[in-house]
Amino acid sequence: MAAPPNGRVLPPSFDINTFDKVMDAMATIVGSDNVSRDSFHGNLGGPGGELFYGDIWPMGDTTDHTPSGAIRPKSVDEVQEIVKVANRYKLPLWTVSRGKNLGYGASGAVVRGSVILDLHRMNKIIEVSEEHAYAIVEPGVSFFDLYNYIQAKGYRLWPSCPALGWGSVLGNTLERGFGYTPNGEHAEQQCGMEVMLGTGEVVRTGMGALPGSPMWPLFKGGYGPSIDGLFYQSNLGIVTKLGIHLTPAPASFALCELSVPSQDQLISMVRTLAHLERENVIQNHTSISNPFRRALADLTTCPDLVPRVLGPGLQSGGGCATNADMTALAKERGWGYWTGDFALYAASPAILDANWALVHERIAAAGISGACVKITFRADAAPNERLNASKLAVPSEYTAIPQYGVPGTQNASLMETRGGPNAKGNGHICFSPLFSTDGIEMQAWWDRAQQMAEDARFDVFADFHVYGRYVLAIALVVYRPHDEGERVKGLFERWLEDAEKHGVSEYRTHLDYMDRVRGQFNWPGGSGVGAEAGGGQERGKQDALGQVLRRLKGVLDPEGILGQGKSGIWTVPART
Ligand SMILES: Cc1cc2nc3c(=O)[nH]c(=O)nc-3n(C[C@H](O)[C@H](O)[C@H](O)COP(=O)(O)OP(=O)(O)OC[C@H]3O[C@@H](n4cnc5c(N)ncnc54)[C@H](O)[C@@H]3O)c2cc1C
């Protein structure tokens, strides 16, 4: 078999001649400018302007997710032609919408040598309804695109966006990503999809199956079984359109902050906030920070913090900020140990006043010693008007969490926290487990996770997202891939082992660990947690959900061309 030249990577079982022949066929569909025959170029620019495909922040050298190339179609018809060719040659594809899945593998694929099906050129906003507060978008539409479109039209809507606005509305939603407005649980807001299966068939879900129905983006259910969930974190199809609900612009809006002085008060804080969220008094989720994250958010207003946080000043732990450093910093600044950011949204100032009074009352009733709750910014529209998010004069220390839906890239600067303000090429990992809002397991986990990070000499940034019934906890560590990759991988694996031992799972994980996390979901049990490396395909007979998913994979993608290994789902028998 002929070897690929210049360090190029090929799909498994392909030689260079067959690969070139397939990519020639792809070029006749999308044009040669939209085909990359290696991973080195053609991607949308990464945080440092990187144009290559793959995981821009690898954890060590052990697992290689480098793709062999990429194809960038512009239309559903082109995607269909690509799928036909891929089926003919059994070419492994990996779909990305904008490929900004940073911290989880970016535009890499589980199987080295897969071809990236990069949908960023399919970037039409098909419809936005101001009246019904929804949008229908193609995969390449970014959070910036949707926001700018709504601003240009003057619609009274606040679309949700994550902490970085350059990702895809559709891609982020499929990953069960989140933003910070009342419609910030993106998967909950999704209504209607168009999907191409591995067979090349196109289906519309829900009411989209009723020809010409205006109900597609309005009613999630449709008639009979709903299949939308099959395409979340999935390799069963390529989603080509997606409906999503948006937040109507409020007439009154307030940014609020709850802080508590001591590390062990996280439980009471979470319980109180979750209760207010279940009651819908607080309509978005609360984002809770530890002092390290709080310091990063305050760098603009407290410039004296810059050398301490971005340099070695805060770092007495031989290269990291210890918990003792963070506790001392919080005390010195008069911050709480934990700071929770949430917002109030209302159709009138009187409603906001009433909700604020309830927030106060409930927090006082919880009796959390030293708790302090305040409004940090408030705006009220003129009678019969609505607030325009772009006109809010929010102080800069409160803009990092986009609770009013204005997308930005300010949070990308957190990558500078190791090595100073001019640090380039740093990456981060996120370990993202789920907990009940009773908070007990979560607090115990955090105490262990933080100690493990300190033992591995990494600063750890806590980012706890409190919803009415669950907490999505994120431990985020910034590292230098060139010399800290192996060490950060060691830390990640210690976190993973600890989570497995305690029956806790991440909501989303990095490409390296998709099989392993899938292995935890083995009810009614029997095959052992995470026992089979490269697993999924040979799992024991009692992994009920895995068996169903593999059966569906065989039906919806019989040649196994789509996203092998995504979320630990493989075609049986394994082809790699
Ligand atoms: C500093 C920082 C802050 C962040 N903050 C947040 C945050 O607040 N909230 C949050 O959710 N995330 C956050 N992230 C993580 C990530 O950047 C976003 O989730 C981002 O939106 C994901 O990238 P994307 O939208 O381009 O998705 P893509 O990379 O395009 O897609 C992600 C994955 O989804 C699947 N997929 C994509 N498109 C399709 C399709 N059309 N059909 C089938 N499957 C598909 C593929 O498996 C793909 O690998 C943050 C990252 C960083 C670095």
> What was the pLDDT predicted at 534?
43
Classify domain 16-118 at the CATH topology level. 3.30.43
d(CA 24, CA 69): 12
The CATH number of domain 254-515, selected from 3.90.1640.10, 3.20.20.10, 3.40.462.10, 2.60.40.1930: 3.40.462.10
Probe target for ligand 1 pocket from 121, 164, 185, 242, with the most ligand atoms within 8 Å of CB:
164
Closest ligand 1 atom to Cα of 99: 29
Q: Cα torsion at 315, 55, 186, 554 (round to 10°)?
A: -140
Measured in Å, residue 525 CA sits from the centre of ligand 1 at 31
Residue 69 CA to its chain's centroid (Å): 24
d(CA 465, CA 475): 11
Burial category of 2 from C-beta neighbours within 10 Å (exposed 0-12, middle 13-18, buried 19 and up):
exposed
Domain pair 125-248 / 254-515, same fold: no
Report how far apart, in Å, the C-alpha atoms of 310 and of each of 320, 412, 459 are: 11, 14, 11
Contact predicate 271/437, CB 8 Å:
yes
SS3 185: strand
Residue 169, phi then psi, degrees to nearest 5: -60, -45
Amino acid in the structure at residue 246 = L
Q: Report the run of H or E that residue 357 belongs to, with start and end.
A: helix 349-366
The token pair that represents 426 in the structure block: 């740093």
Beta bridge partners of 340: 258, 288
Closest ligand 1 atom to Cα of 238: 42
Closest ligand 1 atom to Cα of 120: 30
Sign of CA dihedral 366, 367, 370, 376: positive
175 Cβ inside 6 Å of ligand 1: yes
Closest ligand 1 atom to Cα of 411: 1
93 Cβ inside 6 Å of ligand 1: no
Measured in Å, residue 116 CA sits from the centre of ligand 1 at 15
Classify domain 125-248 at the CATH topology level. 3.30.465
Contact predicate 470/449, CB 8 Å:
no
> What was the pLDDT predicted at 531?
40
- Cis geometry, peptide bond prior to residue 524 (ω within 30 degrees of 0): yes
Q: Report the run of H or E that residue 366 belongs to, with start and end.
A: helix 349-366
| pTM of the full structure | 0.95
Helix axes 266-278, 440-455, angle to 10 degrees: 130
Beta bridge partners of 245: 134
Show Cβ contacts of residue 568 under 8 Å, excluding neighbours closer than 6 positions. Answer: 514, 515, 516, 517, 518, 519, 535, 536, 546
Closest ligand 1 atom to Cα of 105: 49
The token pair that represents 22 in the structure block: 């397939």
Q: For residue 507, give the nearest of 468, 465, 551, 477 by alpha carbon.
A: 465
Measured in Å, residue 234 CA sits from the centre of ligand 1 at 13
Show Cβ contacts of residue 528 under 8 Å, excluding neighbours closer than 6 positions. Answer: 519, 522, 540
Residue 88 CA to its chain's centroid (Å): 33
Measured in Å, residue 70 CA sits from the centre of ligand 1 at 18
CA angle, residues 197, 162, 393, in degrees to nearest 5: 145
**Sequence spans of domains, the chain:** 16-118, 125-248, 254-515
Q: Whose CA is nearest to atom 16 of ligand 1?
A: 101
d(CA 413, CA 47): 9
Q: Cα torsion at 524, 530, 535, 540 (round to 10°)?
A: -30
> What was the pLDDT predicted at 3?
54
Tens place of pLDDT per residue across the chain (576 aa): 455 667 789 999 999 999 999 999 999 999 999 999 999 999 998 888 889 999 988 888 778 999 999 999 999 999 999 999 999 999 999 999 999 999 999 999 999 999 999 999 999 999 999 999 999 999 999 999 999 999 999 999 999 999 999 999 999 999 999 999 999 999 999 999 999 999 999 999 999 999 999 999 999 999 999 999 999 999 999 999 999 999 999 999 999 999 999 999 999 999 999 999 999 999 999 999 999 888 887 777 777 777 677 766 666 667 788 888 889 889 988 999 999 999 999 999 999 999 999 999 999 999 999 999 999 999 999 999 999 999 999 998 899 899 999 999 888 888 878 766 566 778 999 999 999 999 999 999 999 999 999 999 998 999 999 999 999 999 999 998 888 999 999 999 999 999 999 999 999 999 999 999 999 999 998 654 444 434 444 444 578 999 999 999 999 999 999 999 999 999 976 544
Contact predicate 249/156, CB 8 Å:
yes
> What was the pLDDT predicted at 4?
62
The token pair that represents 31 in the structure block: 């044009």
> What was the pLDDT predicted at 540?
46
102 Cβ inside 6 Å of ligand 1: yes
Measured in Å, residue 360 CA sits from the centre of ligand 1 at 36
